[in-house]
Every structure is written in structure tokens, then in C-alpha cells.
């Protein structure tokens, strides 16, 4: 079933979008960042944006990706927001990075709910949920699985990001996550050789990246092998998969086709866009997702 998803996230609000920017509230603070998909006009004036923004990202003229933040005096470089995931408050530490990210993709909260509910359902059926989170970043999906009692393995190639995820685990009052600093594709190849099995797999691959030892990841070149490996790792029944795609131009239908080729026809599936609407009702797509159960 194809569907747009928007989570209910009290500590996040998309205030306005347009002219290739977005104005967002994370907890008590408002950020202004580039957004290539906001092709329409802003609803609020430039003066209102300037008045509301506590931190504004200024792109480096020499780089498409990097830049620096301009902060108001009251704006901290680090702060924490919370998300109620089925009764467990996940606490995420935010920070202003040179790549315009803040350590949280709030649209992913819709997947956190699915992950937590799926793990809880597996436990209710007497199955021990063992969950693998690949390209796991700061760990929202990992924490959602752990909050539901899953045995969670968190894999990311950046040591500092894994340390950040561990901070979020501790701030959320959780423990027991297995942390792996390694290239995701190298890790799953080894898990296949070991004959490992998981009840849940979460894939959040970037368009391009580097592994812990310089391995190169290019989504279009590597995603088929990644899915084929994951198909061998996922239990044949009583299991779930979540795949996110952030590259512009890659649709949820594409994700569905690629997953079905690797995994076969699922028992249930859902796919579409992760979105937020701003105060004027303009809906901003922030990525595509595909979920399945078998």
C-alpha cells in the first residue's frame, strides 16, 4: 500500500518552506537550513525568517555540502529533544554540523513507531526480536527497537557518530546495544558467511559515503548486493524490513521493485514518502520509505 507518512513529534515543527530553504523548530530553538526540494515560494517574509531563526546555515561558496552556522547569542551548539515512542521517551542530543545536519531526521519518527510496534508484536508471538540497523547514524531506529526489548545491533562507519548514538541511548535510559564501527556492506557480507539471522533489518543508506577503512559506497552501484545479503540474513517468517532512500529522483516504487527482487513477495508491505507540512499547509517530501513483513 502506497502512503504518505507524517509522525506526531511534539518537539519538532516545520514552520515554513520555500525558495530552497526550510525553517524548523527543534524543541525551543528554530533553525534555518537549505532544502533543495522546497521549490515553491516562502509563505513568511524574509524579515519573519530572520526574526525567528536562532541558527542559520550559511553554505560555503566553494562547496555544495559544507558551510557554517550563524548563531544568536542565546543559541547553544548542543541541546536535547524528546520523542514519545510508544510510551518510552527517546532523547536525542542535537548539534550543529558543518554539513547542515543537526543529528536528527525527524521524519524518521514514523519508522521508529513501526519498528517498535513490530518488535513488540514479535515478542507477543513468542519470538525474540534480533534487529540489525545499518547506516544507523545517531540511533533513533536502534533506540526504538531496544525500547521494545529487541536485541539491537547498530552499524555505522563513523566512530564519532556511533559515540553520539551511545549518548542518545544513555540519555534515553536504555542499555545493551551492540555497537559496530564498520562499513555496512563489509559487515553484512561477514554476517552472511557466519550464517547470522535477524528478525528485523533497517537500511538507511546515503547516496554516497565512505566506510571506516575508506571503502566507497555508491547507492546505485551497491544497493542490489546489500539487499541480496540482507535477504539471506532476514528470517524467512516472522520478520520485518525498513528501507529509506534519500537520493532525489529515487522513488518508493523503485525501492519496492528492488526489495521484491531480492526478498520475494512479502506478506505485507507499505511504501511512499515521509513528509511534513509547514504552517501554510505546504507538504515537503523528506525521503521515500519501503516497509515489509514476512
36 vs 114: CA distance, rounded Å: 28
Pick the CATH number of 79-293 from 3.30.43.10, 3.60.10.10, 3.40.50.150, 3.40.50.300: 3.40.50.150
pLDDT of residue 267: 96
- Closest to 84 in 3D by CA, of 104, 109, 118, 111: 109
Contacts for 178 with CB less than 8 Å, ≥ 6 apart: 151, 152, 153, 154
Q: How would DSSP label each residue in 34-84?
A: E-TT--S--SS-HHHHHHH-SEEEEE-TT-SS-EEEEE-TT--SEEEEEEE
Domain ranges in the chain are 12-75, 79-293
Give the predicted TM-score (pTM) of the model.
0.95
169 vs 88: CA distance, rounded Å: 12
273 vs 284: CA distance, rounded Å: 10
226 vs 241: CA distance, rounded Å: 13
Neighbours of 228 (CB within 10 A): 15
Could you tell me which CATH number the domain at 12-75 has? 2.60.40.1180
* 50-99: pLDDT as tens digits: 999 999 999 887 776 789 999 999 999 999 999 999 999 999 999 999 99
Label residue 214 by pLDDT band (50, 70, 90): confident
* 248-263: pLDDT as tens digits: 678 999 999 999 999 9
140 vs 171: CA distance, rounded Å: 12
207 vs 218: CA distance, rounded Å: 6
Q: What percent of the chain has pLDDT over 70?
A: 99
Compare 246 and 62 and report the one with higher pLDDT: 246
Label residue 1 by pLDDT band (50, 70, 90): confident
| Distance (Å) of CA 283 to CA 16, 40, 134 | 10, 11, 28
* 158-212: pLDDT as tens digits: 999 999 999 999 999 999 999 999 999 999 999 999 999 999 999 999 888 887 7
Q: What percent of the chain has pLDDT over 90?
A: 89
- Over its C-alpha atoms, the chain yields an Rg (Å, rounded) of 19
DSSP state of 252: H
Averaged pLDDT score across all residues of the chain: 95
Amino acid at each position: 500500500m502506497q502512503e504518505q507518512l507524517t509522525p506526531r513529534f511534539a518537539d519538532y515543527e516545520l514552520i515554513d518552506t520555500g525558495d530552497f530553504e526550510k525553517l524548523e523548530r527543534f524543541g525551543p530553538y528554530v533553525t534555518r537550513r537549505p532544502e533543495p526540494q522546497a521549490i515553491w515560494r516562502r509563505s513568511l517574509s524574509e524579515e519573519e525568517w530572520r526574526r525567528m531563526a536562532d541558527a542559520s546555515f550559511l553554505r560555503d561558496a566553494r562547496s555544495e555540502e559544507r558551510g557554517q552556522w550563524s548563531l544568536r547569542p542565546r543559541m547553544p551548539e548542543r541541546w536535547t529533544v524528546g520523542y514519545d515512542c510508544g510510551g518510552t521517551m527517546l532523547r536525542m542530543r542535537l548539534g550543529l554540523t558543518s554539513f547542515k545536519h543537526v543529528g536528527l531526521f525527524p521524519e524518521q519518527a514514523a519508522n521508529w513507531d513501526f519498528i517498535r510496534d513490530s518488535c513488540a508484536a514479535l515478542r507477543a508471538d513468542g519470538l525474540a526480536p534480533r534487529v540489525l540497523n545499518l547506516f544507523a547514524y545517531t540511533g533513533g531506529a536502534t533506540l526504538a527497537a531496544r525500547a521494545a526489548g529487541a536485541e539491537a545491533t547498530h552499524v555505522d562507519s563513523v566512530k564519532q557518530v556511533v559515540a553520539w548514538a551511545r549518548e542518545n541511548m544513555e540519555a534515553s535510559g536504555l542499555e545493551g546495544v551492540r555497537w559496530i564501527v564498520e562499513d555496512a556492506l563489509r559487515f553484512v557480507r561477514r554476517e552472511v558467511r557466519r550464517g547470522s539471522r535477524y528478525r528485523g533489518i533497517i537500511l538507511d543508506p546515503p547516496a554516497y559515503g565512505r566506510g571506516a577503512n575508506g571503502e566507497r559506497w555508491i547507492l546505485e552501484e551497491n544497493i542490489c548486493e546489500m539487499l541480496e545479503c540482507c535477504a539471506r540474513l532476514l528470517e524467512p517468517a516472522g520478520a520485518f524490513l525498513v528501507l529509506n532512500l534519500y537520493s532525489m529522483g529515487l522513488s518508493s516504487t523503485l525501492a519496492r521493485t528492488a526489495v521484491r527482487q531480492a526478498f520475494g513477495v512479502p506478506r505485507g508491505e507499505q511504501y511512499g514518502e515521509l513528509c511534513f507540512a509547514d504552517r501554510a499547509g505546504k507538504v515537503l517530501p523528506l525521503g521515500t520509505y519501503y516497509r515489509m513483513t514476512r
